[in-house]
Chain A
Amino acid sequence: DAGITQSPRHKVTETGTPVTLRCHQTENHRYMYWYRQDPGHGLRLIHYSYGVKDTDKGEVSDGYSVSRSKTEDFLLTLESATSSQTSVYFCAISESLSEAFFGQGTRLTVV
């Protein structure tokens, strides 16, 4: 299994508060991704990174920002959480374009 760790695994937060989710990899893979998964929508890409300090927006990036200061860490920040951001968040990594491996997910509830 690819070495991907997401933290926290579960979080409950209040509307309007900032939240940061962390994805840590031990595989030295170049590409990292943040997805959210919601019933009826499947997995949707939020942001991705193709190297240190190189990031770009995905399909549903509004309300989210990311940072990648080291190869192994990719942070997802919700500047001011809203109830619509209640979701399960998955980090994924890949080195080649023929594979991608997912972390165990973070279940975020915004109340």
Chain B
Amino acid sequence: GQNIDQPTEMTATEGAIVQINCTYQTSGFNGLFWYQQHAGEAPTFLSYNVLDGLEEKGRFSSFLSRSKGYSYLLLKELQMKDSASYLCAVRGAGSYQLTFGKGTKLSVIP
């Protein structure tokens, strides 16, 4: 089975940096995903990590440590439009399935 934990809610200030953590326990591992979901909308793909280290994409970066079962999503230069839920998901070894955490609701305040 798989267990994925992430904080329920976070608040950060416009222009700041925020780090959203995700820890996971899985029976196998074949990649970790981050998605953004605005209220009432579909999740949109942000990043995929399968090897240890940092992947950077513009203002967003994602880090993975497989030995620690740990990932984070880093958002820089926060904008009001970044207010959304951020979903961490893991794909198990030899699996087609993604297992999602419950999501972190990020509120960006002026």
Separation of A90 and B89 alpha carbons in the complex (Å):
15
B23 at the interface (CB under 8 A from A): no
A41–B102 CB distance below 8 A: yes
Chain A residue nearest to B89 in the complex (CB): A43
Binary contact track A92-111/B, C-beta < 8 Å → 1, others 0:
10000111111111000000
Chain B residue nearest to A42 in the complex (CB): B102
B43–A43 CB distance below 8 A: yes
A98–B48 CB distance below 8 A: yes
Q: Contacts A42-B103, A43-B100 known; A100 to B33 CB distance under 8 Å? A: yes
- List A5-53 residues whose CB lies under 8 Å from chain B: 31, 33, 35, 40-45, 48, 50
B97–A43 CB distance below 8 A: no
Contact of B102 among A35, A40, A45, A59 (CB under 8 A): A40
Write the residues of chain A forming the contact surface with B, with a CB cutoff of 8 angstroms: 31, 33, 35, 40-45, 48, 50, 56, 58-59, 90, 92, 97-105
B31 at the interface (CB under 8 A from A): yes
Minimum Cβ distance to chain B for residue A41 (Å): 7
B109 at the interface (CB under 8 A from A): no
Q: Contacts A45-B97, A50-B96, A90-B42 known; A98 to B31 CB distance under 8 Å? A: yes
Q: Contacts A42-B102, A97-B91 known; A48 to B96 CB distance under 8 Å? A: yes
Residues of B within 8 A of A40 (CB): 102
A–B complex contacts, Cβ < 8 Å, 6 sampled: A31-B96, A33-B97, A90-B43, A97-B91, A100-B45, A102-B35
Chain A residue nearest to B103 in the complex (CB): A42
Residue among A56, A100, A105 with most chain B CB within 10 A: A100
Contact of B44 among A31, A43, A102 (CB under 8 A): A102
Separation of A43 and B100 alpha carbons in the complex (Å):
6
Separation of A98 and B33 alpha carbons in the complex (Å):
8
Separation of A35 and B87 alpha carbons in the complex (Å):
14
